[in-house]
Structure 1
Amino acid sequence: MEQDFNAAYWQERYTQNNTGWDTGSITPPLKNYFDQLQNKAIRILIPGCGNAYEAEYLFRNGFENVYLVDVAPAPLRNFAQRVPEFPEEQLLHQDFFELEGKYDLIVEQTFFCALDPALRAAYTEKMASLLAPGGKLVGLLFDTTFQKPGPPFGGNREEYRTYFELYFNFILFETAYNSIPPRQGNELFIILELKN
């Protein structure tokens, strides 16, 4: 039987602390990108947020319009305990594909690779629908294949390009130079801008 990567599946992964993707802090590529953002009023979405170290970093650095979405309640609870002053109404316990609203920046950090690859076309279409005009999708994608069955599910830049080019202009789509050591050489850093 094929595994259903639903809310119960992810909730159990967090409950069992089976979260090998969790780095325990913000990773250098995203930290460096956030550090050069000037406008702290932008609306930022982090889908499949997990423990959301990126959101904690942004929030503590004055970005107040950060929204987290996860299908599992456990990581949202973990985040709320870690950052109790974060606005509760910006913690969205729901399916990303049912999300509404417009955001200026969407952050990709191990969400794309957690989804069944059959959902990749739907993912890019949904990302485009959630971005405001001129909005950007920024983050990291695994540029490698994994020996074990996923998640995480790997892939390569040529495959990813076919999904993203329908909706986005490619500002940056390169191997990350500052990945954490275990991911060195196996991550793409992407800055994609919504087409007009």
Structure 2
Amino acid sequence: MAGPTADFWQERFNKQETGWDRGGPSPQLLAWLDSGVLQPCRIVVPGCGRGWEVVELARSGFEVVGLDYTQAAVEQARARCAQEGVQAEIVQADVLSYAPDRPFDAVYEQTCMCALHPDLWVDYGRQLASWVRPGGSLFALFMQILRTAATQEGQIQGPPYHCDINAMRALLPETAWRWPRPPYACVPHPNLAGGHELAVHLSRS
């Protein structure tokens, strides 16, 4: 399989090399919750990591399923839920093959797309569309992190991989998703030099 494996991510957790982890829920998730755009529903968080967003959503009344295929992430997310006294389902699964027993109302996509090698994005895009019911939502944070070797030589560098907004629109086309008009909110990432995220709320057609 192209790109980082489960063993790669397990090693990152073992070595405490988790620079993507803010140490708390994303400010954009809190903004979506505070604004009322994101309201309690059945929601999945792919690549949930240590579970910061899972806990915040569960605390806010959501029915949450967190996915990760790294054992350390699953164990830590479950421990965090127990510590915070919230109920959420944490599943160890590959997002490229995971099939829910029923559709979700929403997906919160923050760190999964940019952690997958771009060779896998088409399959992941199909998965996202299959998980969400018609009229449901995708709350996405698309990583923006341009590197010189990528822009000048065409090399694919990551993770995290740069999620060009034009590529995202091709992966999540208007035939399946309704895109809002830009500009999109820019979300700084304190642990990634030169990196930020674009926050987009898409609706399933």
Which amino acid in 2 is paired with 1:141? F
Q: What is the rounded CA distance, in whole Å, between the counterparts of 1:114 and 1:38 in structure 2?
A: 24
Residues 174, 188 of structure 1: 8 Å contact kept: no
Which amino acid in 2 is paired with 1:191? H
Where do 5+ consecutive residues of structure 1 fail to align?
none
Match of 1:194 in 2: 204
Q: What is the rounded CA distance, in whole Å, between the counterparts of 2:187 and 2:4 in structure 1?
A: 30
| Residue among 80, 83, 105 paired with 2:81 | 83
Residues 174, 190 of structure 1: 8 Å contact kept: no
Match of 1:116 in 2: 117
Please give the residue correspondences for 1:172-187 in structure 2 after superposition, counting only pairs within 5 Å: 174-180=183-189, 186-187=196-197
Q: What is the rounded CA distance, in whole Å, between the counterparts of 2:195 and 2:12 in structure 1?
A: 27
Which amino acid in 2 is paired with 1:69? L
TM-score by length of 1: 0.86
Match of 1:95 in 2: 94
Shift of the 15–130 alpha-carbon distance from structure 1 to 2, 3 Å rule, reads: same
Q: What is the rounded CA distance, in whole Å, between the counterparts of 2:125 and 2:204 in structure 1?
A: 11
Give 1:39 shift. Answer: 4.4
Please give the residue correspondences for 1:22-61 in structure 2 after superposition, counting only pairs within 5 Å: 22-35=21-34, 36-37=36-37, 39-40=39-40, 42-61=41-60
Residues 67, 91 of structure 2: 8 Å contact kept: yes
Give 1:177 shift. Answer: 4.1
Is residue 68 from structure 1 mapped to residue 72 from structure 2 by the alignment? no
| Residue among 139, 152, 175 paired with 2:160 | 152
Aligned positions, number: 191
Residues 172, 189 of structure 1: 8 Å contact kept: no
Q: What RMSD over aligned residues (CA atoms) do the two structures have, in Å? A: 2.3
Match of 2:154 in 1: none
Question: Would you identify which runs of 4 or more consecutive aligned residues in structure 1 move more than 4 Å?
Answer: 180-185
Q: Percent identity?
A: 29
The alignment partner of 2:160 has SS state of coil
